[in-house]
Amino acid sequence: MLARINADPEVMRYRFKPLTRQETDELIDEFEACFDEHGFGLWAVERTVDGQLLGYVGLEVAGDDAPYRPLIHIGWHLAADAWGRGYATEAATAVLDHAFDELALAELIAHTTAPNERSRAVMRRLGMHRDPHDDFDAQWYPEGHPYRRFVLYRITAEEWRARKAGDGPVR
């Protein structure tokens, strides 16, 4: 099922290209290696009414050479027919709760290529905020590529708790 989601050009619009079945299998191996190493990673998102796999949402760890800190970021990736229903925001809310309450992280970031407005909207809905000084060029895109410029949003544990308590800043 994830292979079908990753083969959709609409879902993969801001990546290099749709993935083959084998590439998705390799991706799942990477996800599992992350869980083995860190105890967290990208979780499968299923619709509760029927168990349908919608995609994944969770935490990823960048290498030490990443142009940002902290190295752990939250990400989301859903089937196109699951967009527009709040599933990414709902799943990301559970991930933020887990990250701050169980893993005791102090701060989380999210990043995406600047034109990926849907992903940026999830960040804003979660109360994450952007300082343009944090924006960076993604080295995995070649010079001059239209998706090379990335925006970065962040939220601290304190900000998340204040928001959940209803007294966080409305951005």
Ligand X SMILES: CC(C)(COP(=O)(O)OP(=O)(O)OC[C@H]1O[C@@H](n2cnc3c(N)ncnc32)[C@H](O)[C@@H]1OP(=O)(O)O)[C@@H](O)C(=O)NCCC(=O)NCCS
Footprint of ligand X (CB under 6 A): 11, 14, 75-78, 83-89, 112, 116, 118-119, 122
Q: What type of residue is 25?
A: D
| Cβ distance to ligand X smaller for residue 59 or 88 | 88
Closest distance to ligand X from the beta carbon of 119 (Å) = 4
| Distance from C-alpha of 92 to C-alpha of 57, rounded to nearest angstrom | 6
Closest distance to ligand X from the beta carbon of 161 (Å) = 20
Q: Are the C-beta atoms of residues 149 and 135 closer than 8 Å to each other?
A: yes
| Cβ distance to ligand X smaller for residue 36 or 59 | 59
| Distance from C-alpha of 147 to C-alpha of 140, rounded to nearest angstrom | 10
* Nearest residue to 58 (alpha-carbon basis) of 70, 71, 40, 46: 40
Closest distance to ligand X from the beta carbon of 90 (Å) = 6
| Cβ distance to ligand X smaller for residue 115 or 158 | 115
3-state secondary structure of 119: helix
Closest distance to ligand X from the beta carbon of 76 (Å) = 4
